[in-house]
Amino acid sequence: MKIALAQLNYHIGNFESNTEKIIKHIAEARTNGADLVVFGELCVCGYPSRDFLEFNEFIELCKTSAKKIAEACKGIACIIGLPTANTSAQGKDLYNSAYFIENGKVKAIVNKALLPNYDIFDEYRYFEPSTEFNCIEFKGKRIALTICEDLWNNFENPLYITRPMDTLILQEPDLMINIAASPFSYKHDVERIEILSDNASRYQLPLFYVNNVGAQTELIFDGGSLVIDNTGKLIDEMPYFEEAIAYYDFEDKDAVTYKHHSTLRIEKQSEIDQIHKAIILGIRDYFYKSGFKQAILGLSGGIDSAVVCALAAEALGSENVMAVLLPSIYSSDHSIKDAEDLVKNLGCMYEIIPIKEVTAAFEITLKPQFNNLPFNIAEENIQSRSRAVILMAMCNKFGYILLNTSNKSEAAVGYGTLYGDMCGGISVIGDVYKTQVFELARHINMDKEIIPINSIIKPPSAELRPNQKDTDSLPEYDVLDQIIALYVEGRYASEAIIKKGFDEKTVKKVIRLINISEHKRFQTPPILRVSPKAFGVGRRMPIVGKYLS
């Protein structure tokens, strides 16, 4: 039989466009002679639909869409994902389901058993885990159909007490199909191939794996659907970060072939290259799916805003990016020149809006209260917040969306001004460490100098007081980033980090800064997630807690 895998970009709750897209690809697959076309997890409503799933009307609309899809599915079979009602009296109200539709009829329903409920996942919030497992007969073959996490129960340290394939294998299936919504991180593609290959070789069955693609606010789904043979060998890998459909001929357990030019990646992709592509998709989908076209950002002459500006220009077109230089009396001449050079290199729109009259007005206005107290963080933050007011005024007047330019290192230690440089509709590099921002800048400059080299090599500075440097209050970024990663991603105790050779005082200071900045991070924009542990929805910390702070 000929199996088509369709990895598509869905829009949460946009039933019209999702349904239309699925039906169009069913037609295309039929035209190309496919017997079965497979779509990704919860493709009907988009993933993650979050608490929309608690609205009965939303579930009804899923059902209506599935009916339309079934009607269009004539002369071919398809697999789609959608939430369905749990009609038993007990347990959660919904299942995370897959419909196997053949010739206009729903022939089988499979419910997900293993519900991820960690990091960014909240599936047990909505779904009851399935306890029944049955293969699907189709064209004389038996399909073991599972949904995403169902194949992810680690064999050495299982997170769940059941494993659907252990039951399904007893029914002697001929092949496995898994539909997924597996979000990107720069470590995840390798892990995914490993665990899926492990499944294929253990059960000695070929595996067809379809992932979604596209960004849903902070979560980026990278596609990269896979076909693995019954020895665990990866035989095809669909493109990453773009929609695609591909066709495979399944004859028997040990006979899967295809005719197209494979997109199997020969070598491991660099993390920076992956991050780059992920962020481009993240920006693009954020704007496209929320119905906006144009971005604005403040350009300081530093590396963070330069990188964000270059990424935005690539994602949205430079004609859709407005860069604003907002010099203060503390801005250095080279910063203005570096920012202007960048704008020229990119060809985006730009404005220069000095903030000195505004900050002077704040100082005069607050003189009776401040009463000649010495310059401190209050005056520093006034500058940062004045810039935010101006950028947001531009948004309100002209319809731009403000891009946040904070990096992960700053976000971690609270080195940023709430309601100042921490503003924005979406945080573009909030999951990219400062050391990675440097790499990203060099990566962007690979073919020609887009980001002025001076922005890359000069010492980072917030330029909120004379001769300020980031290292005045923070350790060097190569040290800082390692400590943050060990604590935030590795959840190491401070003693264990110190044992790795870091200075005790520095480690304790950094961890304390991380823990006392939760109130700031709570109010920051959604952050495009590229790492296994990003700030935001996947990391939930108490604010008034008193642990290591």
- For the annotated catalytic residues, the residue numbers are 41, 112, 148
State yes or no: residue 544 binds a second copy (CB under 8 A). yes
- Please tell me the distance from the alpha carbon of residue 105 to that of residue 70, in angstroms, as a whole number: 6
Q: What residues pair up with 495 in beta bridges, in sequence order?
A: none
**Contact flag: residue 525 with a second copy (CB under 8 A):** yes
Peptide bond before residue 48 is cis, with ω within 30 degrees of 0: yes
| Dist CA 257 CA 476 (whole Å) | 52
Confirm or reject binding of residue 388 to a second copy (CB under 8 A).
yes
- Per-residue x/- track, 456-495, a second copy (CB under 8 A): -----------------------------------x-xxx
Q: Which stretch binds a second copy (CB under 8 A): 71-79, 239-247, 312-320, 419-427?
A: 419-427
Distance CA 257, CA 407 (A): 45
Shortest Cβ 542–a second copy spacing (Å): 5
Is the Cβ of residue 43 or residue 101 nearer to a second copy in the bound state? 43
- The pairing of beta strand 94-102 with beta strand 77-85: antiparallel
Comparing CB distances to a second copy, the nearer of 27 and 392 is 392
Min dist CB 51 to a second copy, Å, is: 5
Applying CB under 8 A, which of residues 32, 51, 67, 337 lies at the interface with a second copy? 51
Residues that bind a second copy (rule: CB under 8 A) add up to a total of 94
Map residues 171-210 to x or -, x wherever contact with a second copy holds by CB under 8 A: ----------------------------------------
Shortest Cβ 126–a second copy spacing (Å):
9
What is the distance between the alpha carbons of residues 262 and 235, in angstroms, rounded to a whole number? 9
The nearest distance, CB 30 to a second copy, in angstroms, is 28
Among 75, 377, 503, 505, binds a second copy (CB under 8 A): 377
In the set 75, 103, 124, 172, which binds a second copy (CB under 8 A)?
124
Kindly list the distances between the CA atom of residue 210 and the CA atoms of 74, 126, 288, in Å, as whole numbers in the listed order. 22, 23, 24
Strands (E), 217-353: 219-222, 226-228, 234-237, 244-252, 255-257, 295-299, 321-325, 349-352
Question: Secondary structure of 415-458 in the HEC alphabet?
Answer: CCCCCCCCCCCEECCCCCCHHHHHHHHHHHCCCCCCCCHHHHHC
**Does the footprint of a second copy cover residue 103 (CB under 8 A)?**
no
When asked if residue 64 is in the footprint of a second copy (CB under 8 A), the reply is no
- The helix/strand/coil state of 529 is coil
Task: Compute the distance between CA of residue 309 and CA of residue 296 in angstroms, rounded to an integer.
Answer: 9
Q: Restricting to residues 312-351, which ones interact with a second copy according to CB under 8 A?
A: 351
Taking the complex as a whole, the smallest distance from the CB of residue 491 to a second copy amounts, in Å, to 5
Closest among 175, 219, 241 to 8, alpha carbons compared = 241
**225 CB-near residues (< 8 Å, 6+ apart):** 5, 7, 209, 210, 211, 237, 238, 244, 246
Q: Shortest gap between Cβ of 195 and a second copy (angstroms)? A: 17
End-to-end alpha carbon distance in the chain: 61
> Does 390 contact a second copy by CB under 8 A?
yes
The verdict on 372 binding a second copy (CB under 8 A) reads no
Residue from the set 170, 255, 393, 453 that interacts with a second copy by CB under 8 A: 393
1, 2, 58, 106: residue in contact with a second copy (rule CB under 8 A): 58
